[in-house]
Amino acid sequence: MTQFVIVTGGVVSSLGKGIASASLAAILESRGLSVTLIKLDPYINVDPGTMSPFQHGEVFVTEDGAETDLDLGHYERFITTRMKRANNFTTGQIYQSVLEKERRGDYLGKTVQVIPHITNEIQEFIKRGAGYGTPEAVDVAIVEIGGTVGDIESLPFLEAVRQMSLKLGPHQMAFVHLSYVPWIAAAGELKTKPTQHTAQKLREIGIQADCLLCRADRPIPAEEKEKISLFSNVPEWGVISMWDVDTIYKVPRMLHEQGLDRLICEKLHINTPPADLSRWDALVHEVEHPKQEVSIAMVGKYVDLSDSYKSLNEALRHAGMKNHARVNIHYIDSETITADTVSQLTKFDGVLVPGGFGKRGIEGKIAAARFAREKKLPYLGICLGMQVATIEYARHVAGLEHANSTEFEPDTPFPVIALIDEWKDADGTIQTRNAQSDLGGTMRLGAQSSDVSQGTLAHKIYGDVVSERHRHRYEANVRYLDTLRKAGLVISALTQREHLTEIVELPQSVHPWFMGVQFHPEFKSTPWDGHPLFNAYIKATLDHQSQRTNLKAVA
């Protein structure tokens, strides 16, 4: 039977609860246990799909096409279990499910209430995420509760896990609470009071933490740990210090050295071989000893909030590690790029246009793609980045002046990117669906397979078939593919099911490395192997750099 570790947070958000949970999972996995992670989000949105990246950061997409919290990205990068739709749920989903049951009459005339109906539903969802009682059940499920203790909206979740631990019986559930220990510069002291209070708040709700992870900018000395222990009723060895580090890959070892996994295994009465964190040590070594550096210009919209591109940043860094290079990512606001300013991109080793929605900054992205094509700078376009590369090629090479996507210019004379319904409508074959009526889940989402043409750059990277995850509405318009092909654009992969454009590229005789992909490869990159596409892109940027250096030397 699956056992559970509940991870809650106190004092403030953004302390790294996701990384802490993923690190604990990674250590337990290194002890030979099968582990999964479940994220509970107390907000009312059904999923983060319709939330602004400014509000929420990246929307992570699972293989089965769920739009989830970005913490699921950390989970997949830290452990081997793949996340599914059931690994993330929100208050919105809980209420939706309870209300559907109520309408069906499942509650047999009873008054439907937060306790027990909402709290029972939460427990069912947690068990479902862990595969509890099924052949897929894991040994340990780590359940991260979003928000901070004391928020009104997270109360039903805390109440649900409290009830659950009672029902499961002793040694089936452990509680880890992440707190904050601020350094007060004026006093020259670490302050333990917020942690004392948040542990008390948790006890008020009926939960006694087994372990406190104390976030601070520095290690917490024994004296302060002792004080925290006394006031929070957590034994001293359960007060664990989690200080700022320059790479997240140091966190598993930091927590293990202080006995976090031993404490959890003792609490849950689990016997395993000792943890083996050698691969994490190797990773840290790789991060700290790069042999070279590359600079990538990332031309996007939400550039002031790098959380919007979490998985992408990680994928680039992983590929850097694979190439023994430090990757410096320079975020460039596409609104600042015009025909006059685009030459600023010359100083970079590669250009990357990431995914995005909406018209703002589009012309800057198109100018960046054009510059990369003409100046033979390595170019990687992801999702929207493939679409702008296609628009750019249509306009400036294929002679389709003012070509555009109907997302940005509904009346464009050449809709080279459009909704499938729009180009099918021209034949009167299908009706336009009302895309505005329900924005949630109306996209191409999740993993899909495509056939890759032989002799292409894509084929060198992927072989015959590529399967990657999607999150977009618009597609390369089938009606213009022949024109684009004749003008020299290579369509190197088409989806198996609907023959939609999956990858475009330039022949390597024309450009050393130019590729746009309709999917989001960043979701499948791991620190262990990187990702073949990013590994190849970073390699191309390194080649570009050494070629440039050679040219300079000759000059």
Catalytic residues: 383, 520, 522
Q: Under DSSP, is residue 12 helix (H, G, I), strand (E, B) or coil?
A: coil
**Smallest gap from residue 310 Cβ to ligand GLN (A):** 14
Q: Is 474 in the site for ligand GLN (CB under 6 A)?
A: yes
Contacting residue, 197, 375, 424, 473, with ligand GLN by CB under 6 A? 473
Counting residues that bind ligand GLN (by CB under 6 A) gives: 10
Structure tokens at 439: 């924005």
478: CB partners within 8 A, 6+ apart: 423, 499, 500, 501
Which window, 171-179, 315-323, 422-430, 471-479, contacts ligand GLN (CB under 6 A)? 471-479
**Smallest gap from residue 392 Cβ to ligand GLN (A):** 15
Spatial distance between the Cα atoms of 268 and 245, rounded to a whole number of angstroms: 29
Structure tokens at 1: 């039977």
User: Could you check whether the bond before residue 507 is cis, i.e. omega within 30 degrees of 0?
Assistant: no
Tell me the torsion sign for CA atoms 204, 207, 210, 211.
Answer: negative
**Smallest gap from residue 398 Cβ to ligand GLN (A):** 20
Q: Is 472 in the site for ligand GLN (CB under 6 A)?
A: yes
Closest CB to ligand GLN among residues 16, 355? 355
**Smallest gap from residue 327 Cβ to ligand GLN (A):** 21
Element (H, E) at 298: strand 292-300
376: CB partners within 8 A, 6+ apart: 511, 512, 544
Written as one string, the DSSP assignment of 103-117 is HHTTTTTPPP-IIII
Closest CB to ligand GLN among residues 230, 439? 439
Element (H, E) at 353: strand 350-353
Which window, 62-70, 145-153, 350-358, 490-498, contacts ligand GLN (CB under 6 A)? 350-358
Spatial distance between the Cα atoms of 173 and 335, rounded to a whole number of angstroms: 50
Q: Is 320 in the site for ligand GLN (CB under 6 A)?
A: no
Spatial distance between the Cα atoms of 432 and 426, rounded to a whole number of angstroms: 10
Q: Is 56 in the site for ligand GLN (CB under 6 A)?
A: no
Structure tokens at 400: 């389709």
Q: Is 447 in the site for ligand GLN (CB under 6 A)?
A: no
Q: Is 519 in the site for ligand GLN (CB under 6 A)?
A: no
Residues 202-261 that bind ligand GLN (CB under 6 A): none
Residues 353-372 that bind ligand GLN (CB under 6 A): 355-357
Binding mask 381-410 for ligand GLN (x = CB under 6 A): --xx----------------------x---
Which window, 160-168, 286-294, 372-380, 465-473, contacts ligand GLN (CB under 6 A)? 465-473
Strands 3-9 and 173-180, sheet pairing = parallel
Q: Which residues bind ligand GLN (CB under 6 A)?
A: 355-357, 383-384, 407, 471-474
